[in-house]
Chain A
Amino acid sequence: MVDLGDGRSPGSGANTPRWVKVSAIIGGVLVLLIAIALFTGHGPGRHIAGGRAPFSGVMEDGPGGHVPSEDGK
Chain B
Amino acid sequence: MTVSPRLRKFALTSHIASSVGLLGAIAGFLALAVAGLTSQDVQIVRAAYLAMELIAWFVVVPLALASLLIGIVQSLGTTWGLFRHYWVIAKLLLTVFATTVLLLQMKTIGYIVRVAAETTLARGDLFEARISLVIHAGGGLLVSLVPLALSVYKPRGRLR
Contact = CB atoms under 8 A, between A and B. Distances in A.
Contacts, number: 107
Interface of B: 12, 15-16, 19, 71-72, 74-75, 78-80, 82, 84-86, 88, 90-93, 101, 104-105, 107-108, 111, 115, 118-122, 124-126, 128-129, 132, 147, 151-152, 154-158
A47 interface: yes
Interface size class of A (residues with CB under 8 A): 20 to 34
Contacts of B154: 6, 8, 11
B17 to A, nearest CB: 11
Contacts of A19: 86, 155, 157
Q: Specify the main secondary structure of chain A where it touches its partner.
A: loop
Interface of A: 1-6, 8, 10-13, 16-17, 19-20, 23, 27, 44-45, 47-48, 53-60, 65
